[in-house]
Amino acid sequence: MHLGKGARLHFLGIGGSGMLPLAQAALEFGFAVSGTDLSLGPRLDDLRASGAQVVEEAFGADLLCTATHVICSSAIARSHVLLQLALQQGKALLHRSDLLNFFCQQKKTIAVAGTHGKSSTAAMVTYALHQTGRFPSYILGAPLQGGLGAAAWDTRGEWLVIEADESDRTHEKYHPELALVTSVDFDHLDCYGSGQEIVRSFVQFLSQATRSAVVHPQGELGQCVPQEWKMLTRHKPSLKTYGTAEGLMNRVGSLSFQNGGGSGTYQLEGGATQNVELPQLGQHSFLNALGAGLVCQEAGLSWSQYLQCMRTFPGVYRRLQVAAYQQTWVWVDDYAHNPGKIQAAVQAVRQAWPSSRLSVIFEPHRYSRLQTMAEAFFQAFRPANDVYVTEVYAAGEQDEEGVWTAAAIASQIGQYSGVSSQAFSAAVVIDQVRAVDQHCVLLTLGAGGVRELGARLIEQLSCQE
């Protein structure tokens, strides 16, 4: 695909987590950028300040007329008014993955995929390359804290770091120099149809790496091994494995957590042991950092350089982010919205605050995900004390049978996880935090509006202190 410097790109749904960083990179690359969204908010301020023209969808027709290409994601329905207008005007339509693939063809690419962990892992790779003076370009699914943001295009560096999205199988389009798979869960079954097909898709992604691939082969990827996986391990000798299980080339060793971070060891291929310090919570953070480190070795960093960078890793927005705290409570916010992510987040917070009361505010995400992974969801909260369930963030889906109410989901969580669980009520949560004679951790989980809900709750709680 060829895009000349004179291309004018219009993004439908420009404020989305996958579209906004792509638009920022396109702007820095030199394209004229415009876009529309249902509503405008602070998340778009930096993009607009950089020169992008952004308006609400209702006023987007005039901007669309000036574009040469219209960029959309899988979340944009074919019936979308502005998409239909673009078709009528004969505009060139590009899926966001095609534009991302265009950028991949401009630089050496490190592509990070996986059903969970890819944002944090890609951010770790980006941060290490940045801190060691390699001037990476990057297009991430969540902003790096500390001012680096979610995207940048830097002509001085040779590397581009991207997240490869598996939700719509578009990760299969990429042929990166270095590929990393952080995890494989049986998610997105509405797209794949079976767990076997999900595994097959990730194996294809790894096989397309032009130089080297790194994989965490535990979970479903290790338990459900099609013929393609056997062929990959036989014919791709550069494949590196990591995890916690015996027999893997690189392993996370003993870990301890304190003061919002942790320390431990990595046992590396060849017998070397490396001490690691990370200002992040949870075993999964150390797994992510090990995968990122293996990729960074392929990109030219030494282990000592990489691990020194990880000591100051600032974290990623909404990835176990300590959002507020007072003497009697702390609020931790996380994007987790599938069972694997939820379990990792809850366990990480429990490890960090073992004697605190852990109260989870959970916003379920998509009815289709609940239907295909119900039991796994219900069992994911076991280390918590209390779970408060909001209404489902539907993302455009419908509850056809009318069974997925907050109260019904809470009842099942209580039964399967053995915790106190009920439909969310701000008053009940505040009363519970104030009533217990114990330090409390409030953990908000979800991919929709639960952070904003948490912020309002904390504001009320702070006013009553």
Q: pLDDT (tens digit, 0 to 9) for every residue of the chain, 465 residues total?
A: 778 878 999 999 999 989 999 999 999 999 999 999 988 888 899 999 999 999 999 999 999 999 999 999 988 888 999 999 999 999 999 999 999 999 999 999 999 999 889 999 999 999 999 999 999 999 999 999 999 999 999 999 999 999 999 888 999 999 999 999 998 877 666 777 777 788 888 888 998 999 999 999 876 555 555 566 667 777 677 899 999 988 899 999 999 987 678 999 999 999 999 999 999 988 999 999 999 999 999 999 999 999 999 999 999 998 999 999 888 899 999 999 889 889 989 999 998 899 999 999 999 998 988 988 899 999 999 889 999 999 999 887 888 888 899 999 999 999 999 999 999 999 999 988 888 888 999 999 999 889 999 999 999 888 765
Q: What residue ranges in 8-119 does DSSP mark as E strands?
A: 8-12, 32-37, 53-56, 69-72, 92-95, 108-113
Q: Do 82 and 64 form a contact (C-beta atoms < 8 A)?
A: yes
CATH class in words for 321-463: alpha beta
Q: Do 356 and 346 form a contact (C-beta atoms < 8 A)?
A: no
CA distance 9 to 23: 8
CB count within 10 Å of CB 272 equals 10
CA distance 139 to 19: 10
For residue 140, what pLDDT is reported? 97
Backbone dihedral angles phi then psi of residue 290, each to the nearest 5 degrees: -65, -45
Contacts for 261 with CB less than 8 Å, ≥ 6 apart: 277, 278, 279, 280, 281
Spell out the domain ranges in the chain.
8-97, 107-310, 321-463
CA distance 380 to 362: 11
Confidence (pTM): 0.88
CA distance 264 to 254: 5
For residue 190, what pLDDT is reported? 73
CATH class in words for 107-310: alpha beta
CB count within 10 Å of CB 131 equals 16
For residue 226, what pLDDT is reported? 53
CATH number for region 8-97: 3.40.50.720
CA distance 329 to 255: 25
For residue 345, what pLDDT is reported? 93
CA 62 to chain centre: 34
For residue 420, what pLDDT is reported? 94
Task: Give strand pairing partners of 8.
Answer: 32
Backbone dihedral angles phi then psi of residue 275, each to the nearest 5 degrees: -85, 140
Q: Are strands 8-12 and 69-72 parallel, antiparallel or unpaired?
A: parallel
Tokens standing for 461? 């709680």
CA distance 317 to 333: 9
Q: Are strands 386-389 and 357-362 parallel, antiparallel or unpaired?
A: parallel
Consecutive H or E run containing 276: strand 273-278
Tokens standing for 173? 């389009």
Longest dimension (CA), the chain: 65
Q: Is 461 helix (H, G, I), strand (E, B) or coil?
A: helix
Closest listed residue to residue 225, CA positions, set 268, 193, 184, 171: 184
Fold agreement between 8-97 and 321-463:
no
